[in-house]
């Protein structure tokens, strides 16, 4: 293993560095902030929330002291309302839609108010009493937000639901992939108690592979695929195998599973990528004590897919942005010693609608680094998905009927990152809800057809 090069910090420094970036509101702050809400009718914040949380209603409930009622309003619409309150890009969702923006006023801090409401009840709330079993069973592959949401909704109709998850804890990227200063793993896990109390069975450390599919198909009335995406894409340059070269998901996961002083981090770190994950990595590296951090992206700042507020966060952390540059090779004897890059120029828009980068010959430059972390897109789990008969994929994403999330194989439904190629937690929750009502519709229709024929 690479010797940790970043200076070690005291436990207090680590805690301070990874302290909640959005500290919770006090009661008095929540009341004051909530009192600014206009209680719009047919409110745009509701329409901008993929899960349709009735935001004005829950803010009003906070205002009347009915905090449990507020939490129920939120969680009935979005069972992961607890983590969404912390990780949603609210500035492009509910808060971006707040009418106060149009009057050049600060929008309501909906995320923080949501957190205030759900924090209060997280560990005790029984969201609803599931009805008696309807005799139908649904298997859900993957324990991330999509499956948790789908299983919860199915419980409302009395389905027996079993989630099969490969990880020790459920939650998927919600548990393992979100920057620690936004959501600690132990907080993410609290959320699953809420789901378990509704009678959702979660089987952890169970990897579902092609060989298990026939059994699932036999035993269950429907199967939901919520497997997310695979590992990080490769850089496809020489030196990737060197010690000190790793991928973003592993790096972030380490900060969630290990104590901060045990996480391997270089002192001079190069992070490749322009998305929100790259930001999570550079900010985590800074908080772990790395002294020199580069974020290298082949296009310019305007084209980077990271949200503006995320880039601002990295700027506050004094990250060195290396725009319009592509790594060409990682140099080192056994371990990473430097990264060689080449400058790019931007051509006409490519398939993604963004300007395509082209390397500029002779513009090579070298960054002396002892760690290289790739934060590119994620691979598709094509191999597993292709093992399901009849499933249709497009660029590795599962094709579904959007109204029901049913796949081309009628037994299978799908949602979350494996369908949209990588979205927000709240998008996955929305998929899960739609899929649950789709499963219910389809199975009800089938049962009714059987009754008619009988």
Partner 1 sequence: MPDISIDFCGVRSPNPFWLGSGPPANTAYQAMRAFDAGWGGVVWKTIGDPIINVSSRYGSIDYKSERMIGLNNIELISDRPIETNFLEIAEVKKKYPKQVVVASLMVESKQAAWHEIVRRANDSGADLLELNFGCPHGMSERGMGAAVGQVPEYATMITTWVKEMAQVPVIVKLTPNVTDISFMAAAAKQGGADAVSLINTINSLVGVDLDTMVPRPNVGGYSSHGGYCGPAVKPIALNMVASVAHNPKVGIPISGIGGISNWKDAVEFMLLGSTSVQICTAAMHYGFRIVEDMISGLDGYLASKGMNSAMELVGKSVGKVEDWGNLNLNYKVVAKIDAEKCIGCNLCYIACEDGAHQCITAAPRPVGDLRHGTPAKHVPHVIEEECVGCNLCALVCPVPQCITMEEIDSGRGSMNWRQLQEARGKSPQCSMEELLAKVAKA
Which residue ranges make up the site for partner 1 (CB under 8 A)? Answer: 31-32, 35, 38-44, 47-50, 52, 63, 91-94, 96-97, 99-100, 102-103
> What would the two tokens of residue 142 be?
């993957």
Phi/psi of residue 362, nearest 5 degrees: 80, 5
Closer of 51 and 167 to partner 1 (Cβ): 51
Distance from C-alpha of 280 to C-alpha of 293, rounded to nearest angstrom: 12
As a whole number of angstroms, the distance between CA 185 and CA 260 comes to 13
- CA 179/CA 277 separation, integer angstroms: 9
State the minimum distance, in angstroms, from the CB of residue 357 to partner 1: 23
Nearer to partner 1, 31 or 242 (CB): 31
Nearest to 203 by CA among 162, 244, 246: 162
Compute the least distance from the CB of residue 446 to partner 1, in Å.
29
**β-strand 397-398 against 393-394: which pairing, if any?**
antiparallel
| Least separation in angstroms between CB 402 and partner 1 | 13
Q: For 378, which DSSP code?
A: B
Choice between 15 and 32, CB closer to partner 1: 32
CA distance 241 to 237: 10
Which residues does residue 232 pair with via DSSP β-bridges, in sequence order? 378
Residue 257: exposure state from Cβ atoms within 10 A (0-12, 13-18, ≥19): middle
Nearest distance from C-beta of residue 415 to partner 1, angstroms: 17
Please state the closest distance from residue 39 (CB atom) to partner 1, in A. 7
Q: Are 273 and 294 in contact (CB under 8 A)?
A: no
Which two tokens mark 212?
């298990």
| Residue in the structure block whose two tokens are 């010690």 | 243
Q: Which is nearer to partner 1, 108 or 442 (CB)?
A: 108
Q: How far is the CB of 49 from partner 1 (least distance, A)?
A: 8
Nearer to partner 1, 99 or 166 (CB): 99
Q: How far is the CB of 33 from partner 1 (least distance, A)?
A: 9
Looking at the Cβ atoms of 42 and 394, the one nearer to partner 1 is 42
445 within 8 A of 136, measured Cβ to Cβ? no
Asked if 266 contacts 246 with a C-beta cutoff of 8 angstroms, the reply is no
Taking the complex as a whole, how short is the minimal distance between the CB of residue 31 and partner 1, in angstroms? 6
Q: What is the side-by-side strand order in the sheet with 292-296? A: 245-247, 371-374, 268-272, 292-296, 320-322
Judged by beta carbon, residue 96 or residue 421, the one nearer partner 1 is 96
The closest alpha carbon to 78, from 108, 39, 117, 106, belongs to 117
Residue 393 is encoded by which pair of tokens? Answer: 């994929």
Task: Please give the torsion angle defined by the CA atoms of residues 160, 165, 171 and 176, in that order, rounded to the nearest 10 degrees.
Answer: 180
3 state SS of 82:
helix
Q: Give the whole-angstrom CA distance, residue 176 versus residue 185.
A: 7
Identity of the residue, 31 or 447, whose beta carbon is nearer to partner 1 in the bound complex = 31
Write down the least CB distance from residue 38 to partner 1, Å: 5
Nearer to partner 1, 12 or 42 (CB): 42
Closest approach of partner 1 to the CB of residue 421, in Å: 14
Residue closer to partner 1 (CB basis): 202 or 426: 426
How far, in Å, CA of 197 to CA of 390, rounded?
35
């Amino acid at each position: 293993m690479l010797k940790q090069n970043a200076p070690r910090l005291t436990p207090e420094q680590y805690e301070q560095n990874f302290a909640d970036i959005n500290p919770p509101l006090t009661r008095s702050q929540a009341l004051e902030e909530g009192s600014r809400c206009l209680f719009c009718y047919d409110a745009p914040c509701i329409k901008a929330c993929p899960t349709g949380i009735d935001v004005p209603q829950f803010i009003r409930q906070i205002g009347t002291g009915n905090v449990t009622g507020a939490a129920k309003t939120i969680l009935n619409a979005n069972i992961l309302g607890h983590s969404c309150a912390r990780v949603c890009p609210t500035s492009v969702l509910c808060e971006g839609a707040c009418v106060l923006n149009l009057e050049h006023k600060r929008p309501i801090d909906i995320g923080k108010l949501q957190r205030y409401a759900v924090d209060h009840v997280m560990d005790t709330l029984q969201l609803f009493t599931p009805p008696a079993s309807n005799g139908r069973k649904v298997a859900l592959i993957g324990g991330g937000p999509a499956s948790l949401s789908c299983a919860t909704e199915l419980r409302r109709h009395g389905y027996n639901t079993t989630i099969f998850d490969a990880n020790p804890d459920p939650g998927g990227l919600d548990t393992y992939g979100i920057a620690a200063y936004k959501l600690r793993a132990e907080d993410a896990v609290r959320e699953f108690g809420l789901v378990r109390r509704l009678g959702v069975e979660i089987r952890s450390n169970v990897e579902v592979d092609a060989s298990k599919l026939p059994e699932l198909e036999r035993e269950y009335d429907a199967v939901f695929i919520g497997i997310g995406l695979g590992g990080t894409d490769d850089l496809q340059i020489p030196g990737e195998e060197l010690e000190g070269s790793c991928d973003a998901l592993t790096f972030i996961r380490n900060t969630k599973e290990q104590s901060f002083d045990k996480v391997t981090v270089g002192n001079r770190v190069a992070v490749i990528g322009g998305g929100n994950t790259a930001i999570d990595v550079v900010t985590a590296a800074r908080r772990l004590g790395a002294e020199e951090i580069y974020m290298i992206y082949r296009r310019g700042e305007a084209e980077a897919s990271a949200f503006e507020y995320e880039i601002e966060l990295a700027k506050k952390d004094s990250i060195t942005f290396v725009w319009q540059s592509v790594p060409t090779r990682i140099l080192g004897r056994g371990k990473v010693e430097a990264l060689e890059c080449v400058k790019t120029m931007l051509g006409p828009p490519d398939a993604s609608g963004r300007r395509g980068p082209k390397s500029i010959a002779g513009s090579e430059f070298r960054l002396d680094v002892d760690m290289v972390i790739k934060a590119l897109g994620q691979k598709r789990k094509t191999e597993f998905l292709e093992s399901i008969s009849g499933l249709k994929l497009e660029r590795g994403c599962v094709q579904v009927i959007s109204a029901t999330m049913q796949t081309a194989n009628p037994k299978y439904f799908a949602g979350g990152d494996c369908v949209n190629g990588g979205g927000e937690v709240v998008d996955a929750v929305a998929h899960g809800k739609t899929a649950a009502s789709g499963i219910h519709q389809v199975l009800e229709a089938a049962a009714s057809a059987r009754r008619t024929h009988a």
